[in-house]
Chain A
Amino acid sequence: MEILKLLNIQYKYPESLNNCLNNINFTVCDGETIGLIGPNGAGKTTLLKIICGLIDEFSGDILIYGKQIQKYSSIDLAKLISYIPQMDNYVFDFTVEEIVTMGRRPYTNSFGILKPYDKKIVKEVIDMLGLTKIVKRKFLSLSGGERRLTLIARALAQETKIILMDEPTNNLDLNHKIILMNKIIELNKSGKTIILISHDINLLSEYLNRIIFIKEGRVINDGTVNNVLNEKSLKNIFEIKNFFICENKITKKPNVFFIPEKEV
């Protein structure tokens, strides 16, 4: 079932001369996991911000369940889409539990009184992401991986169908990257549709089923990992030469390998 549809999305930052996004079209079906890949400044983050309603001066149409995004109230939209930004430069030191609870905002009032069901959901997502032992810890005292998981827990507490993540594996060590991607797959199996940005092509190749390449605000390639992740598209998008693509023998997924200049 179609859950999200982008039609001819164009956007220009007020102070910039060129369009940041040009004629973006794609459709997202229920239960997909999609990776957005592209060079720095290609417009990936801007695209995510437009999809979750943070930027509204774009042209074109975004349809969620067939209805234009502008027709949803901010609360209704918050019940459909959650967004985990790239950076967390928090100043105030809330506990893990307090931050996860903030995800219940669309279901509570401005004072944030929780009903028993809200408490149940908060507890469930904390358990699911393995944060039970650190619920009372202060956010700023956590490691990078724990912080990411906390923010994901908060997005889960929001109980949305679609979750957008901007570079969730950034700054994580290999172990935490794998833990995080496994959680993402677990979420996907429980019915969430996930769109994420990452520069880690191999990681996305191994874990996700669809990849969209974006360059200079345009969709260059869109399809399953095996279809679009090839030498031609990588050359085109990143303008690189010295690399080759090999299949992971176990997963049968393409992986990218780089060759330093001196070895060529």
Chain B
Amino acid sequence: MKKNIFIVILLILLFIVILISLISGSVKISLNELFSIFFNTKVETDSSLIIFKIRLPRIFLAILIGGTLAVTGAMLQAIFKNPLVDPFITGVSSGAAFGATIAIIFKFYSITFFAVFGAILTILFVYRLSVKNNNLNLYNLLLIGVMTGSFLSSLIMFLSAFFNKDMVKVIFWLMGDLSITDTFLLKISYIISIIIIIFCIYFSNDLNILSLDEDEAKVSGVKTEFIKTFYFISSGILTGLSVSLCGVIGFVGLVVPHIVRFFIGPDLRILIPFSFLTGSIFLLICDTIARVVFAPTEIPVGIITGLFGAPVFVSLLITRK
């Protein structure tokens, strides 16, 4: 498909999804009301408070998280030369959550810093374990990643129970939850994430070459160790930020790059920005469903992404040549 058409479709879709997300929820707001709120910002009503204080920040959060998870997924797939991985399946999200849990329990200063640190350590751990004789074993990687993830999740729940934390909150967090909005952290995360993603796009042709074959990349002048380290750390920071904002959300990073690659091919210079946009739309849809389906009760958004993602993952695993 022509890239220009694809980007126009995505932007229109994003706009529509934002609109739907703004008007739906436990309090229904009509489109007319929505427009009058936006054009009449001086009058403060209950509806305008809901829009500006609750729904809009949440939409911005979903856009950032969906986008960064999808971008991270696309990058991890390229480094691991494996289209079946994402931050969740490789256990990186759980690593970030574990780092954050340690920070919460022991009351360390920065939860985000520990989440980032946990994510980077987990990537390096899973990578080292799945490389044997300089070869990256595809199935080892999947198994080690999934096991690391579930081990760390269990450890998080165990520690939380041991230190008398609110288990419901912990479970919500492990399933991904976009309702906690720390707007200061959100703004900082936007700035950091966008800067990192710009750098990731800049080096992405080197990652393209690396995603085919490491030896060939080296021989054609790519500094492979630098590129790998750069993308490991970037993926760690992006995952750490997203987990410290809203917990562990699975499968966005798996499903989205797949869909985008199907339309525009595997060139990361285009795949990264398009994945960001598509990931935003995907997570925003999932979150809107999570808010609406049992309204006024909300369910963790990870449940919805899992309902979409797990079957997609299995079908990809089966149909892989």
Contact = CB atoms under 8 A, between A and B. Distances in A.
Interface of A: 15, 49, 52-54, 74-75, 77-79, 81-83, 85, 88, 90-95, 98-99, 102-103, 105-106, 108, 110-112, 158
Contacts of A15: 133
Interface in B167-223: 201-206, 208-209, 211-213, 215-216, 218-223
A83 B213 contact: no
Most-contacted residue by chain A among B202, B204, B220, B261 (CB, 10 A) = B220
B220 A78 contact: yes
B265 A49 contact: no
Interface string B13-42: 000000000000000000000000000000
B266 interface: yes
Contact of A105 (B83, B203, B211, B221): B221
Contacts, number: 85
B228 interface: no
Given A99-B212, A110-B205, A110-B206, A83 B78 contact: no
A234 B203 CA distance: 49
A89 B62 CA distance: 37
A110 B220 CA distance: 12
A110 B219 contact: no
A95 B265 contact: yes
Interface residues on B, range: 20 to 34
Classify the secondary structure of B's interface with A: helix
22 contacts: A53-B219, A54-B215, A54-B219, A74-B222, A81-B219, A90-B212, A90-B213, A91-B82, A92-B211, A92-B212, A94-B265, A99-B212, A102-B209, A102-B220, A105-B206, A105-B209, A105-B220, A106-B220, A111-B201, A111-B203, A112-B269, A158-B220
Contacts of B267: 94, 98
Nearest to B80: A91
Contact of B219 (A83, A94, A111): A83
Contacts of B206: 105, 110, 112
Given A92-B78, A111-B269, A83 B215 contact: yes
A90 B214 CA distance: 11
Interface of B: 78, 81-83, 133, 201-206, 208-209, 211-213, 215-216, 218-223, 261, 265-267, 269
Contacts of A74: 218, 221-223
A49 B214 CA distance: 12
Contact of B266 (A81, A88, A94): A94
A100 to B, nearest CB: 12
A54 B218 CA distance: 7
A244 B83 CA distance: 50
